[in-house]
A and B are shown apart, each in its own frame.
Chain A
């Protein structure tokens, strides 16, 4: 119940920035329009590129814009609070709390993600639907699978952002690592270009890295590219990364705690 309260509080906190939200939806939509025309040109020249058709491609664009803030692709979100508390030393208090830090920040980040999904996720999706006639999930099962995939995407992204924030325990400042991590996230998530277009070994590698959970996997679930056991495998891929990365968060936090205890922050 505590975690629900934490999530609710984060949801409320983010919902106070109304003008920022509107400005963000506007900006996402402008980029959605630009990329839609670029992809339409690409698929006009090569109608089956990456196994997508033109409508798949345009749908993919708008899903990407909708997911951008929900999964905090550029980094940040509530893990920025952690980095700030590490910088100021307040984290020492948190480490002695009986509540696990990872669970606490995860709940908070899910609250944030829920807000961003309802505003900056739904906003561009509606505009994409109206202006570019993007496809919708073909069945309730697909929609349900997408919802699960989306939550997993947020969890995987959270774990990576949490690890980035943890670097402040050693570097005092996460900004450099955050930008580096954001660069990889943009490229390997499929945000910049669908991973299905990546050639050869680069494609294989990109599809195996955790960032594929961010955009490529949820988008393919939405588009109905995964069915039956393939769908289970796709979600299983996200689950495996979520578990591995959350375990890594716990491990790093244990190291950090030892450091704080030994060196007094």
Chain B
């Protein structure tokens, strides 16, 4: 076979996802309403931020376009990860219904099947909104070639960090199948916390978001570089370029957790 592992897995993923997209299209009204509704939720979310600024000149020293850059980049990273692998959140339900067992008798890696299962484009709404906000905020950035590079790898790494958080924390369900909401605290919570300048939080929170749940690398550190600001919290400047490291490490940790989750499942059968 000419194709190597990852390329093959990606192809399997796309093949399964494509079937789910076609299945969703069988109910076009619901599909459209869901996409519009999800877009509406996120659009109104940004309106909320905008209303906040009606009462403020700046939030902890950050202007609306600057906060919009934080908001847009975090939201974009989350939307990409959520669209691509959000189904992993349902792992507990797959265990309860026996669907996971079915997947385990197929010759495609379990994680690929779980992530592609019930793939839906309804989060296109969030993706669009995030892209618009990010695009608008970008017009306020003083672009240089190095900033373009940092911005690009920020988005990719941010996606990877959320990939890792989705997979890693969903694995809790291998142990308690109905704790679905637990992962939300880290995925959606991670995207919510990073839409604000992290200086509004106590230093311990910032340290936690840097070294434990590394969502600060999704946007905060690289955005400081894009905005040409020195770090108000005095963290090493190198962090502003460290997003890819955080992305890869989170992803690797999540894959380890996934493996031990599957091992737990096959050794307990529940």
Do chains A and B directly touch (beta carbons under 8 Å) in the complex?
Answer: yes
Asked whether A37 lies within 8 Å of B200 as measured between CB atoms, the reply is yes
B59 touches A42 (CB 8 A): yes
Where chain A touches its partner, the secondary structure class is helix
Q: Which residues of A contact B57 (CB under 8 A)?
A: 45
Q: Is there contact, CB below 8 Å, between B181 and A192?
A: no
Q: Are A23 and B182 in contact (CB under 8 A)?
A: yes
The segment from A24-32, A89-97, A153-161 found at the interface with B is A24-32
The answer to whether A30 touches B34 (Cβ under 8 A) is: no
CB distance from A10 to the nearest CB of B (A): 18
A140 within 8 A of B: no
A77 to B236, CA, bound (A): 48
Q: List 27 interface pairs A-B (beta carbons < 8 Å), by A numbering.
A: A17-B178, A19-B176, A19-B177, A19-B179, A20-B178, A20-B179, A23-B172, A23-B176, A23-B179, A30-B189, A45-B55, A45-B56, A45-B57, A45-B59, A175-B30, A176-B32, A179-B34, A179-B37, A183-B38, A183-B41, A183-B44, A184-B40, A192-B45, A192-B48, A193-B48, A199-B51, A202-B51
Using A23-B179, A41-B196, A193-B48 as known contacts, say yes or no to A180 and B37 having CB atoms under 8 A apart.
yes
Assess the B181–A176 pair: CB atoms within 8 A: no
Interface residues of B in 178-235 (CB under 8 A from A): 178-182, 184-185, 189, 192-193, 196, 200-202, 205
Cα separation A192 to B54 with both chains bound (whole Å): 15
Contacts of A179 in B (CB 8 A): 33-34, 37-38, 41
Given contacts A45-B59, A176-B37, A182-B37, contact A27 B185 (CB under 8 A): yes
Q: Once bound together, how far apart are the Cα atoms of A184 and B41, in whole Å?
A: 8
- The complex places the Cα of A176 from the Cα of B122 at a distance, in Å, of 10
B56 touches A46 (CB 8 A): yes
Contact A171 B30 (CB under 8 A): yes
**Chain B residues within an 8 Å CB radius of A50:** 55
A40 at the interface (CB under 8 A from B): yes
Query: Does B36 have its Cβ within 8 Å of any Cβ on chain A?
Result: yes
Q: Report the separation of the CA atoms of residues A160 and B176 in the bound assembly, to the nearest whole angstrom.
A: 33
The reply to whether B51 and A176 form a contact with Cβ atoms under 8 Å apart is: no
Contact present for A40 and B179 (CB under 8 Å): no
- A192 and B44 within 8 A (CB): yes
Chain B residues contacting A42 (CB-CB under 8 Å) are: 52, 55-56, 59
Q: Is B8 an interface residue (CB 8 A)?
A: no
Bound CA span A193–B55, Å: 12
Cβ contact within 8 Å between B41 and A182: yes
User: Which residues of chain B are within 8 angstroms of A183 by Cβ–Cβ distance?
Assistant: 37-38, 40-41, 44
Contacts of A27 in B (CB 8 A): 181-182, 184-185, 189
- Chain A contacts of B182 at CB under 8 A? 23, 26-27
Contact call B40/A180, Cβ cutoff below 8 A: yes
A53 interface contact, C-beta 8 A: no
CA distance A173 to B34 in the complex (A): 11
Question: Is A38's beta carbon under 8 Å from chain B?
Answer: yes
Given A31-B192, A41-B59, A186-B41: A193 touches B179 (CB 8 Å cut-off): no
Does A144 lie at the interface of the complex (its beta carbon under 8 Å from any beta carbon of B)? no
Cβ-defined partner of B189 (8 Å) among A31, A49, A171, A177:
A31
